[in-house]
Structure 1
């Protein structure tokens, strides 16, 4: 381990093999709060602090894109008070952290259905997107009011309309065309998916884009997912052989 400021760098990490796009399902905020007899909103606030720490470290080691599953289309079923508080927390954090995003040359964007979100949050999203659009550092990508099945349905509708309008021939529909109609069309597919809290499922998240990603499941609740655990996820990724559907190269006998 090496120290740099307040960060402990794991010397086993190969900085030439850092995943370029990391997607995270940040699970466990509510359980973290319950374990401490705190309101669920306190778990979300603790989770936000962890986001900032992980994003800062990711940028420092050369990660290009971080996609964070922040609010799913299924999360509307939660208590109204909790949903309202989540929206308020996100808006407040963006207002407070815009200068930091600018100072660190980060670009902010959001993927998901925007039609159901409150106007005040939509305006904040758009403001931060516009203010950071020319930055060329790490992309902080929030999946908000996001559901992968709905994303695929929207892509199918878009492609179908292009066929009806004679802008696209059916025989020309391929993976590239489908990818170009997804919410993430301007981003590379994730190399690594991390999910916290011990759950081992992807919960309607980036179903198309995760086709060849490596998965890392952590037992830690999101507010407890520290830099050391993040480094373990990266080390695990670096030990994998990414074959993309192919077989391993045969070993040459000596």
Structure 2
């Protein structure tokens, strides 16, 4: 969900305005995805690097949004089961409690939403490898070991990511689930996240379909 600050700056508003607009926009995009039959979604909310590098005031405001806006947005839909990926020790106690309540209260829902918060890609993979080895996966062959590591990574029941959409015009994935997105199609949208529209989503899904059809011929 990239481009919140730049979107706010372009309309003469403070970064906090952009972050709030971006958080609110997630609910709209989740509704669009649900109506299109997409039931497994992973969202990069806040990286560990961002927590460490941005100002205390900005990070504090982001924690407030995570505590107050994200759980309410997800609860409203009554569709998404929440999964978390990242180091929650990096977020505020209030945000941490709100996220854990969201996980508990959303159990058993049809859709699966993984939120990357306090996320570090290297730490994610290292934790998965360690857990798989501790579970005895070292005795498996190469494909079996890969499968075991995938099973131990956090997230919903489907780990592999098919399509990555990066907003804001930046042409990099910035450590977004590298293990899970190893075979994903990647689409870079020039739109800032709060300005990303339903039509933009349809363009991305159509391009994904075109690429997969071409790969199958």
Task: Name segments (4+ residues, structure 1) moved above 6 Å.
Answer: none
CA spacing shift, 1:217–1:157, aligned 2, 3 Å: same
Alignment of 1:3-152 (within 5 A): 26-76=1-51, 77-97=53-73, 99-102=75-78, 105-136=79-110, 138-152=111-125
Larger radius of gyration: 1
Q: Structure 1 220/157 Cα, relative in aligned 2: closer, same or farther at 3 Å?
A: same
> Would the aligned equivalents of 1:179 and 1:185 in 2 still touch at CA under 8 Å?
no
Question: Is the CA contact (8 Å cut-off) linking 1:190 and 1:213 kept in structure 2?
Answer: yes
Matched residues, number:
214
- Contact 1:112-1:146 at 8 Å conserved across structures: yes
SS in 1 for 2:181: coil
* Structure 1 alignment gaps of length 5 or more: 1-25, 250-254
The alpha-carbon deviation at position 132 of structure 1 amounts to 1.0
> Match for residue 161 of structure 1?
134
How far is the alpha carbon of 1:159 from its aligned partner? 3.3
Cα shift at 1:168 = 4.1
| Contact 2:27/2:74 (8 A) holds in 1 | no
Describe the superposition over 1:126-185 as per-residue Cα deviations: whole angstroms up to 9, x where unpaired.
11111110212x2222111112111111122223434xxxx4444445211111121236
SS, match of residue 174 in structure 2: coil
Report 1:220-231 matches (<5 A): 220-231=191-202
Q: So what's the TM-score if we normalise by structure 1?
A: 0.78
Q: Deviations over 1:22-44 (max 9, x none)?
A: xxxx1100111111221111111
**Cross-structure match for 1:16:** none
Flag the structure with higher helix content: 2
Normalised TM-score (structure 2): 0.90
What SS does the corresponding residue of 2:88 show, helix, strand or coil? Answer: coil
Q: Which structure would you say has the larger RCO, counting Cα contacts within 8 Å and 6 or more residues apart?
A: 1
Q: Match of 1:140, SS?
A: strand
Q: Give the SS at the match of 1:186.
A: coil
> Take 1:130 and 1:184, find their aligned partners in 2: how far apart are those partners?
14
Partner of 1:7: none
Contact 1:101 1:132 in 2 (8 A): no
Distance in 2 (CA, whole Å) between partners of 1:156 and 1:88 is 33
Note if contact 1:101-1:107 (Cα within 8 Å) is conserved in structure 2. Answer: no
> 1:239 offset after TM fit, Å?
0.6
